[in-house]
Chains A and B, each alone.
Chain A
Amino acid sequence: MSEVRRVVVQDCPGGPLLIRGADEVVGGDGTVGKVERPVVALCRCGRSERQPWCDASHRARRRRKKD
């Protein structure tokens, strides 16, 4: 009997969600991201340029609107 594979979501406060065991992540616009690594990080701040994946943009200093 095969065990049901577990998908685990880990909360990283101030950062992304880490997901283990998923095959696909469907983005807000419906595009399907294939999971190709053992753990993936999902953007939560909305600033990543590689949605749905985290690109560490949550760490970058926010641009001030002065220009």
Chain B
Amino acid sequence: MRALEPDDRRPRAVPEARAFGDVDEPLRDRDFQLALWILYELHYRGFDGVDPHAEWDPLLLVSRAGLERTMEHALRELVASAGTADPVEKTGDNPADDVVLALTRMTVADGPSTVSGFLQRRATRTEFCQYLGERAIYHLRESDPQSFVLPRIDGPAKVALAELQYDEYGGGRPERLHATMFARALESLDMPTDLASYLPDVSGETLASVNVMSLFALNRRLHGAAMGHLAAFEATSSLPCGRIARGARRLKLPESVLDYYDEHVEADAVHEQLAIRSICGNLVAADPGLADDVLFGAATCLEVDGMAGEALMRRWLDERERRPEPAKRSRAAG
């Protein structure tokens, strides 16, 4: 991807040197998350003008490991304090069934998520575009982190992950590649389609929600967590995507925006079953020791995505507070 430019709006292009442990809230800290994101990007597409050998530069790997330790510690604390991933409840002799049941229970929707409800009913066109911009850092690379897990698992779980990824990657039709469909949606709104354009404004929490996928996918010991994360992600996607599609219709946004979210209502209803049953169920059937990792990954997805959603809602409500009149006018007009 194109090289990042220094942020002129801030007093320093490079923040003061900070030790890894010197971060109060790593999951909300933009500098921390951006540093980790840049190190991960070396493994995906790299940066124009940056030596590709940097991917395996020992000093950068040491830096990444340090940031990852802090990140993983923060995730484990977050999940433990939220109590989302209680130890698997043993209902019988079958640990796979227990995990499938636990994942299903954890991800039951208990009401409209704030962000998708806001987009459905209240968001202005500008706010809707801000949402797309915030999500662009994931959707322009949709499903790529999980592909790193394929060579690390085997048997029915591998077959199911390949099946899910094949669908994410367009099912043999390049124009249906989900990342490409998202780029088309951005294009239809005259928004840039290169990821670098969105990095300056994205929140630490949103960066964390993407980094957590790379953390789980690039560390083999965390592959159970990667698949649990995928299951929770897919299982909490269809209903919100349906609400977002309704919001896009309300705002009369272009067809490609509707197409992207409509596609995800149906696709993710399938993926939810594949991820919970065929991937996580089979993974745990083959290795019951992975059960806790799977649930940790799922809980992490729910907590971190929740944090990113709250951060975005705060931003919208703060901006409306500062400019109440235009918001009211556009609501009346809508």
Residues on B with beta carbons closer than 8 Å to the beta carbon of A53 = 266, 269
Residues on B with beta carbons closer than 8 Å to the beta carbon of A55 = 238-239, 242, 265-266, 269
Q: Which of B110, B167, B266 touches A50 (beta carbons < 8 Å)?
A: B266
Q: CB distance B167 to A56 under 8 Å?
A: no
Interface residues on B, range: 20 to 34
Quick check: is B84 within 8 A (CB to CB) of the other chain? no
Residues on B with beta carbons closer than 8 Å to the beta carbon of A18 = 270, 273-274
Q: CB distance B110 to A61 under 8 Å?
A: yes
**Interface residues of A, CB < 8 Å — how many?**
22
CB-CB nearest in chain A for B112: A60
A61 to B112, CA, bound (A): 9
Residues on B with beta carbons closer than 8 Å to the beta carbon of A41 = 266, 269-270, 273
- Tell me the smallest distance from the CB of A22 to a CB of chain B, in Å: 13
* 16 pairs from A and B in contact (CB 8 Å cutoff): A12-B273, A37-B167, A37-B270, A39-B270, A39-B274, A40-B266, A50-B265, A53-B269, A54-B270, A55-B238, A55-B265, A55-B269, A56-B235, A56-B242, A56-B268, A61-B111
Determine the main DSSP class of B at the interface with A.
helix
Residues on A with beta carbons closer than 8 Å to the beta carbon of B166 = 38
A38 to B274, CA, bound (A): 12
CB-CB nearest in chain B for A12: B273
Can you list, as one digit per residue, whether each of B215-242 has a CB less than 8 Å from chain A (1) or not (0)? 0000000000000000000010011001
Q: CB distance A59 to B239 under 8 Å?
A: yes
Between B104, B107, B235, B265, the greatest number of chain A beta carbons within 10 A of the residue's beta carbon is seen for: B265
Quick check: is A24 within 8 A (CB to CB) of the other chain? no
With A18-B274, A37-B167, A41-B273 given, name 17 new contacts (CB 8 A): A10-B273, A15-B272, A37-B267, A37-B270, A38-B166, A39-B167, A40-B266, A41-B266, A53-B269, A54-B269, A55-B239, A55-B242, A55-B266, A55-B269, A56-B269, A59-B107, A59-B238
Quick check: is B277 within 8 A (CB to CB) of the other chain? yes
Q: Which of A27-44 touch B at CB < 8 Å?
A: 36-41
A16 to B273, CA, bound (A): 8
Q: Which of B108, B239, B272 touches A57 (beta carbons < 8 Å)?
A: B239
Quick check: is A23 within 8 A (CB to CB) of the other chain? no
A55 to B272, CA, bound (A): 11
Decide: A14 near B274, CB < 8 A? Known: A55-B266, A56-B268.
no
CB-CB nearest in chain B for A20: B163
Residues on B with beta carbons closer than 8 Å to the beta carbon of A14 = 104
Q: CB distance B277 to A12 under 8 Å?
A: yes
Quick check: is B82 within 8 A (CB to CB) of the other chain? no
A7 to B111, CA, bound (A): 36
Quick check: is B109 within 8 A (CB to CB) of the other chain? yes
Residues on B with beta carbons closer than 8 Å to the beta carbon of A50 = 265-266
Q: CB distance B104 to A38 under 8 Å?
A: no
Decide: A56 near B239, CB < 8 A? Known: A37-B171, A38-B163, A61-B109.
yes
CB-CB nearest in chain B for A14: B104
A50 to B277, CA, bound (A): 23
Residues on A with beta carbons closer than 8 Å to the beta carbon of B273 = 10, 12, 15-16, 18, 41
Can you list, as one digit per residue, whether each of B52-68 has a CB less than 8 Å from chain A (1) or not (0)? 00000000000000000
Residues on A with beta carbons closer than 8 Å to the beta carbon of B110 = 61
Between A15, A50, A56, the greatest number of chain B beta carbons within 10 A of the residue's beta carbon is seen for: A56
CB-CB nearest in chain B for A57: B239
- Tell me the smallest distance from the CB of B18 to a CB of chain A, in Å: 42
Residues on A with beta carbons closer than 8 Å to the beta carbon of B111 = 61
Residues on B with beta carbons closer than 8 Å to the beta carbon of A49 = 242
A41 to B273, CA, bound (A): 9
Decide: A59 near B270, CB < 8 A? Known: A37-B167, A49-B242.
no
